[in-house]
């Protein structure tokens, strides 16, 4: 057990030192009498004699204390001023940092072994503990999920008129217990819409302006849209592309009359940058169309996409809600490219897919005979037989031979 330290008052110490100074008893006797250590008596006597002059000259002591206090005060004022400047500068930097740096970048700034605690670092960075510890889950990233996506893509390409109910029933025949709610989510994730007219049951997103379907004016008695010349109507859309270890999105613009692919792009995300880049490329290389027809997807109703069309004076047409058949020409092209190139090629990655799809697009535009064009190629139909665009089968066959 530790012994509690005894403390003595100044008056008691003074009394003992006076007895020591009388020299009437030995140091040990006085110490024994008061149950003290002789060493303590020696120290008290030494301290007493050292400060004895204070009793006769208090002003000197007071002045020294005043000088010391004044010095400390000035140092404190200077330190406070400097500290205030540092705080203002720190707050300025922290404010700029918090407003301009992304959440992920802030996470990377945190140092576990730093002198500052992680909590204090997070506070200075303006980052909550929840945001710091959050690990985003990539949707449909597992092997089994990608396998399901690819299977649904195959079903949709073969039976484009199948909705979520029929896809669910077919999947169950194949041994999958996937519910319709998940299939709806997958349809939205992949940009799939069943290719048949249905009743409009949902309201448009109030945040994005929707435009009417303008192609009804071009329908014949059989309810088919008939476009008679190039660049009268362009159609654009996005489709899901399967890869060996993942997926990508393909966006393209097709001329409705000639079926020519005017521009295309492959990306790992389905966003407005994908659609605007394809649109800008087509407008840079070909005369602007009278009308551009799209679906009501957020990428096409986004301000960035709409602004390009408005600035160019191009009429905007959008499919009715749930009416993929309104954009039939691009939907048929998706079916064509998947069965003729993407499925047989089984691309491993985006780089390989981009190279292969480019080769297919060149063949499609320049060499593929199209029954709807009286067996002309899209280029021949678009350029009206211009010499530089005509397809010479003899040259191709001789090259192959």
Contacts of residue 373, defined as CB under 8 A and 6 or more positions apart, other chains included, come to 258, 259, 380, 381
Distance CA 259, CA 239 (A): 17
Distance CA 208, CA 300 (A): 10
Whether residue 108 sits in one domain with residue 95? no
Whether residue 220 sits in one domain with residue 90? no
DSSP character at residue 342: I
Structural domain including 168 reads: 143-190
Give tens-digit pLDDT for 7-37: 888 888 888 888 877 777 776 777 888 888 8
Whether residue 70 sits in one domain with residue 27? no
Whether residue 151 sits in one domain with residue 23? no
Longest dimension (CA), the chain: 137
pLDDT at 202: 33
373 located within any domain = yes
2 located within any domain = no
Whether residue 233 sits in one domain with residue 106? no
CATH code, 379: 3.30.420.10
Whether residue 132 sits in one domain with residue 16? no
Whether residue 364 sits in one domain with residue 222? yes
pLDDT at 198: 41
Q: Which two tokens stand for residue 156?
A: 């949709």
pLDDT at 233: 95
202 located within any domain = no
Instruction: Work out how many domains the chain is built from and give that number.
Output: 5
**Residue burial 118-155, b: 16+ Cβ < 10 Å; e: rest:** eeebbebbebeeeebeeeeeeeeeeeeebebbbbbbeb
Whether residue 392 sits in one domain with residue 315? yes
DSSP character at residue 370: B
pLDDT at 200: 38
Give tens-digit pLDDT for 129-150: 888 787 777 777 778 888 888 8
47 located within any domain = yes
Q: How many CB atoms lie within 10 A of CB 376?
A: 19
77 located within any domain = yes
Distance CA 301, CA 143 (A): 33
C-alpha angle 388/360/154, rounded to 5°? 150
pLDDT at 121: 78
How distant, in Å, are the alpha carbons of 41, 96, 126, 192 from that of 93?
60, 5, 12, 47
Contact yes or no for 152/190 (Cβ under 8 A): yes
Distance CA 175, CA 341 (A): 28
200 located within any domain = no
234 located within any domain = yes
Whether residue 298 sits in one domain with residue 223? yes
SS3 content of the chain, % helix, strand, coil (to 5): 55, 10, 35
Contact yes or no for 366/377 (Cβ under 8 A): yes
Domain boundary among 190, 225, 256: 190
3-class DSSP state of 247: strand
57 located within any domain = no
pLDDT at 128: 83
Whether residue 179 sits in one domain with residue 239? no
Beta-ladder partners of 376: 370
Whether residue 270 sits in one domain with residue 162? no
Residue ranges of the chain with per-residue pLDDT less than 70: 1-4, 27, 53-65, 89-101, 161, 193-208, 320-324, 385-401
pLDDT at 56: 66
Whether residue 274 sits in one domain with residue 393? yes
pLDDT at 315: 95
């Amino acid at each position: 057990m530790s012994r509690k330290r005894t403390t003595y008052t100044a008056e008691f110490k003074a009394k003992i030192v006076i007895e020591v100074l009388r020299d009437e008893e030995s140091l040990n006797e006085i110490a024994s009498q008061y149950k003290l250590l002789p060493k303590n008596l020696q120290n008290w006597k030494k301290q007493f004699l050292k400060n004895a002059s204070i009793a006769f000259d208090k002003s000197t002591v007071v002045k020294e204390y005043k000088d010391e206090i004044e010095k400390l005060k000035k140092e404190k004022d200077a330190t406070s001023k400097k500290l205030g400047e540092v705080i203002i500068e720190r707050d300025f930097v922290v404010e700029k940092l918090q407003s301009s740096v992304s959440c992920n970048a802030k996470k990377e700034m945190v140092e576990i072994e730093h002198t500052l605690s992680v909590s204090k670092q997070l506070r200075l960075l303006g980052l909550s503990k929840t945001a710091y510890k959050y690990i985003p889950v990539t949707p449909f990233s597992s092997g089994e999920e990608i396998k399901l996506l690819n299977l649904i893509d195959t079903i949709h390409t073969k039976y484009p008129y199948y909705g979520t109910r029929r896809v669910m029933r077919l999947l169950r025949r194949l041994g999958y217990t996937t519910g319709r709610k998940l299939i709806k989510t997958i349809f939205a994730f992949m940009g799939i819409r069943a290719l048949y007219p249905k009743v409009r049951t949902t309201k448009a997103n109030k945040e994005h302006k929707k435009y009417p379907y303008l192609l009804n004016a071009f329908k014949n008695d059989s309810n088919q849209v008939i476009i008679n010349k190039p660049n009268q109507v362009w159609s654009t859309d996005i489709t899901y592309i399967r890869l060996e270890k993942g997926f990508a999105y393909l966006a393209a613009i097709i001329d409705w009359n000639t079926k020519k692919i005017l521009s295309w792009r492959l990306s790992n995300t389905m966003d407005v940058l994908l659609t605007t880049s394809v649109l800008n490329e087509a407008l840079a290389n070909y005369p602007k169309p009278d009308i551009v027809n799209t679906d009501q997807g957020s990428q096409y109703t986004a301000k960035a996409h709409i602004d390009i069309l408005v600035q160019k004076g191009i009429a905007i047409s959008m499919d009715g809600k749930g009416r993929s058949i309104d954009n039939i020409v691009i939907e048929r092209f998706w079916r064509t490219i998947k069965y003729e190139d993407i499925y047989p090629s089984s691309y491993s990655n985006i780089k390989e897919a981009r190279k292969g799809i480019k080769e297919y697009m060149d063949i499609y535009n320049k060499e593929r005979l199209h029954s709807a064009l009286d067996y002309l190629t899209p280029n021949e139909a678009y350029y009206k037989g211009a010499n530089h665009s005509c397809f010479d089968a003899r040259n191709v066959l001789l090259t192959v031979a």
